[in-house]
Structure 1
Amino acid sequence: MARSRRVSHAPSPRGGFRNRHGRGLRSSVTGPHLPVLRTRAETFEGTVAETADYLRGLWPEDLADVSFEIAGIPRAVGQAGLDRWWVDQHAKRIVLYRLPIERLSHLHVDDESHQRMYVESCVFRAVAELLGRDPWDLAPDRFRHF
């Protein structure tokens, strides 16, 4: 025997409409007590921005007009494979390619901190190429622990 079911399409006390199963609107996956997750692209952009700000603080005159940009992949394959970044000396522009940096890194430990350090090292090497310096000379006091 079929049971009759009453379905209410009136607004619920929470302010939304209930669906036909009476469950209400869906909430976020993380729930109300957890922080919203960041995407890989947002994490990459944040790491590049923080590293660029750090280097601008160390080299304010040299990096004042430099623009840092992020692209997915390079348009063409270079002689050594996919480029990780591209530096335009005349326009003072650095373009970092997110997908080759993230996916072709071959880290010995693939966790968040090692990925962040690899992205930071790519920014350091791109800035060093722009300035014509060694990457280790950009922040020499950072590596002196004693």
Structure 2
Amino acid sequence: TGPRAGGPGRRPWRDRHGRGLRGRLVPASVPLSRTRAEIFDDLVLDTVEELERRYARELAGIEFAVEDVPPDLNVYDTDVLEDGDVPLARLLPGRPGRTAMPARIVLYRRPLEYRAADRDELADLVHDVIIEQVANLLGVDPEDIEND
């Protein structure tokens, strides 16, 4: 019996070298090869670019960020947009002066993905959350931004 002989507890050989399949099953240029995080980032960018075309002056200097999961937050803070007790996004107002910090809107990818049944629903949810946070930052009604 040689090294290829099957026996109890031995895995069957997948190819002649015993390494199994190698390389990507889908070319990198095909959309299937995109990670969930990359798809989410694209959804965020689509909405942000649309808003920046209409509100370039108001959104100048505002940072948009994505984190996988929220840190421990007090969901009763006014800067946290939540669903139940789970933060979906957070608005961090900027700080003027010598230690200036730009305003920042942070979206939490995993909680948003969890609430969407498919990619279209996720796109709508991401869009709505960004609109809500931008409206909060600008001090306007979200419908005013949506209808412009």
TM-score (norm 2): 0.69
Q: For residues 114 and 32 of structure 1, do their structure 2 counterparts lie closer, same or farther at Cα, with a shift above 3 Å needed? A: closer
Higher strand share: 2
Greater gyration radius: 1
Q: For residues 123 and 26 of structure 1, do their structure 2 counterparts lie closer, same or farther at Cα, with a shift above 3 Å needed? A: same
Give the CA deviation at 1:20.
5.3
**Aligned residue in 2 for 1:85:** 89
**Aligned residue in 1 for 2:138:** 131
Question: Where does the alignment leave 5 or more consecutive residues of structure 1 unmatched?
Answer: 4-18, 142-146
- The CA deviation string for residues 103-125 of structure 1, in whole angstroms up to 9 with x for no partner, is 1x2x5xx2221111111111111
1:17-56 matches, cutoff 5 A: 21=17, 26-30=22-26, 34-56=30-52
Q: Is the 8 A contact 2:112 2:122 kept in 1?
A: no
Matched, 1:120 2:124: no
Partner SS, residue 105 of structure 2:
strand
Between the aligned partners of 2:18 and 2:86, the Cα distance in structure 1 is 52
Give the CA deviation at 1:67.
0.5
Q: Is the 8 A contact 2:131 2:146 kept in 1?
A: no
Between the aligned partners of 1:32 and 1:128, the Cα distance in structure 2 is 37
Structure 1 moving runs of 4+ over 4 Å: 22-25, 31-36
Matched, 1:100 2:111: yes
TM-score (norm 1): 0.70
Cα RMSD over matched residues?
2.9
- The CA deviation string for residues 73-107 of structure 1, in whole angstroms up to 9 with x for no partner, is 2222424512111112223111111111111x2x5
Q: Percent identity?
A: 33
Question: Where does the alignment leave 5 or more consecutive residues of structure 2 unmatched?
Answer: 3-14, 77-83, 95-101
Give the CA deviation at 1:34.
4.8
Counterpart AA for 1:97: Y
